Amino acid sequence: MLPRAVDSLKGTVKNTKELFAKYDEAANEMRIIVLNKNVEQMSEFIHKWTEYIMENQFSPKVVKDWFWKLLLDLNVKLQALQYFSGEYSFESKHQEIFLIEYMYQLKDWLKQYFERMFHYHEANHQTKRKEIIEAFKFVAMNLERKITLDEISSFLFLNPSYFSRLFKKEVGETFVEYVTRMKINRAKELLEQTDEAVGKICERLGYDNQSYFIKIFKTYAGTTPIEYRSGKVG
């Protein structure tokens, strides 16, 4: 079964902190495995963390919240890779995971989830150019710093002008527009899930000028970062 609920509020808070202290470790492991499309390592990953959870008897709600946050964060990062085909629906998974009652069901659900993800990834990338796939991966792995056209072109051993034309033709937007859109998606995630100041998020995403960051954010999101965090419509 999923671990029993902790009786006291103090115990629940303690368990929450203990599990979420492991969050970055698990998130990094999961991202690398998914990018490498390694099914065997993913099975080992699921076994490792579900065993850890059962040994420590975290409350069911904490466990589901933890796994959902892992999947939500991963989904945002994979958007930068153009990872999913149009058939793939992430939003529908939220209700599924919160209806699970037993640990074996959670393990099976996670295995099936990643198997479907890998399947859709392969279907979605049959016609993609290798250079574009590598560019998507580079952006996903380096999103929280400044990324330039010259840097990615050098990384791919391509002429910047050639790569720029190729990217626009294959993706439908310029490389700079794509990187900006991915950064704004990441900024939204940080605004929703952390209490970091706007200035800190700006620096974290590689922007030197906060005013410029706010301007760009409003252009893409239709509202300022502060308004977005508070739920106000721009």
* CA dihedral sign of residues 25, 30, 36, 42: positive
Map residue 232 onto helix, strand or coil: coil
Q: All domains of the chain, ordered by start, with CATH?
A: 9-124 (no CATH), 130-230 (1.10.10.60)
Per-residue model confidence as pLDDT tens digits over 139-175: 888 888 899 999 999 999 999 999 999 999 988 899 9
For residues 190 and 217, give the distance between their C-alpha atoms in angstroms, rounded to a whole number: 13
Q: At what angle do helices 175-193 and 130-141 cross, to 10 degrees?
A: 30
Whether pLDDT at 6 is above 50: no
Neighbour tally for 7: CB within 10 Å: 9
The model's confidence at residue 127, banded by pLDDT at 50, 70 and 90, is very low
Q: Which residues contact 206 (CB under 8 A, 6 or more apart)?
A: 144, 145, 146, 147, 183
For residues 202 and 210, give the distance between their C-alpha atoms in angstroms, rounded to a whole number: 6
* CA dihedral sign of residues 133, 137, 138, 143: positive
Give the C-alpha distances (Å, rounded to integers) separating 225 from 65, 88, 131, 201.
25, 29, 33, 10
Per-residue model confidence as pLDDT tens digits over 28-38: 899 888 888 78
Q: Looking at residues 18-45, what average pLDDT do you find?
A: 88
Neighbour tally for 119: CB within 10 Å: 12
* Between 75 and 222, residue with greater pLDDT: 222
Q: Which residues contact 139 (CB under 8 A, 6 or more apart)?
A: 80, 81, 147, 152, 178, 179, 182
96, exposed or middle or buried, with CB in 10 Å at 0-12, 13-18, 19+? exposed
Per-residue model confidence as pLDDT tens digits over 50-103: 999 988 888 888 898 899 889 888 877 776 665 554 444 555 677 788 888 888
The model's confidence at residue 128, banded by pLDDT at 50, 70 and 90, is low
What's the confidence (pLDDT) of residue 234?
41
